[in-house]
């Protein structure tokens, strides 16, 4: 009976060591099959932790609010293209300039707005300025905060 506490201690320590090694040792990467689905409109990859393929949709956005973006897959051979169709002239958009208003797409697929009057309030996106206002050129300009101000 005198050996049992030591045996229990050894078993406990061995179990803790096994768990530590299990948690610390990285899992072996699983060999992945070819995940190519021959679809241009998906980005194919394999999850090496599970061995399963992923087919994420391709992002065809061109960042232009005056186009409708789509993906075209040609004949399931991996060939295709991203297409950008111009929206109707007059479609509301945002040109990103806070010194314009009534922004709308034109026939050429450009987002344009009407310049706001000088001194109109705007936001130049700079936290280190105050009293932002549109200038005569249609740019939003702010007054710098004083030296030592936190922004």
Examine the pLDDT at 5 and tell me if it is beyond 50: no
Query: How far from 18 is each of 2, 15, 23, 131, CA to CA, in Å?
Result: 26, 5, 9, 64
Other Cβ atoms less than 10 A from the Cβ of 44: the count is: 15
CB 130 within 8 A of CB 145: yes
- Look at residue 106 in the predicted model and tell me its pLDDT: 98
Examine the pLDDT at 10 and tell me if it is beyond 70: no
Q: Is the pTM of this model over 0.95?
A: no
Q: What is the pLDDT of residues 132-144, one digit of tens each?
A: 999 999 999 999 9
Q: What is the pLDDT of residues 40-99, one digit of tens each?
A: 999 999 998 888 999 999 999 999 999 999 999 987 777 899 999 999 999 999 999 999
Strand spans (E) along 13-106: 42-46, 53-57, 67-74, 79-86, 100-105
Q: What is the mean pLDDT of the chain?
A: 85
Examine the pLDDT at 111 and tell me if it is beyond 70: yes
């Amino acid at each position: 009976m005198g050996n049992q506490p030591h045996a229990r201690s050894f078993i406990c320590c061995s179990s803790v060591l096994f768990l530590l090694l299990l948690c610390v040792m990285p899992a072996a990467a699983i060999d992945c099959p070819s995940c190519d689905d021959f679809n241009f409109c998906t980005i194919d990859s394999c999850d090496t932790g599970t061995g399963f393929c992923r087919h994420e949709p391709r992002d065809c956005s061109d960042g232009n609010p005056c186009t409708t973006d789509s993906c075209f897959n040609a004949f399931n051979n991996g060939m295709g293209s991203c297409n950008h169709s111009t929206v109707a002239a007059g479609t509301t958009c945002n040109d990103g300039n806070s010194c314009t208003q009534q922004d709308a797409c034109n026939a050429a697929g450009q987002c344009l707005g009407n310049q706001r009057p000088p001194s109109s309030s705007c936001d130049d996106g700079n936290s280190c300025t105050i009293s932002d206002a549109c200038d005569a050129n249609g740019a939003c300009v702010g007054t710098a905060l004083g030296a030592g101000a936190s922004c």
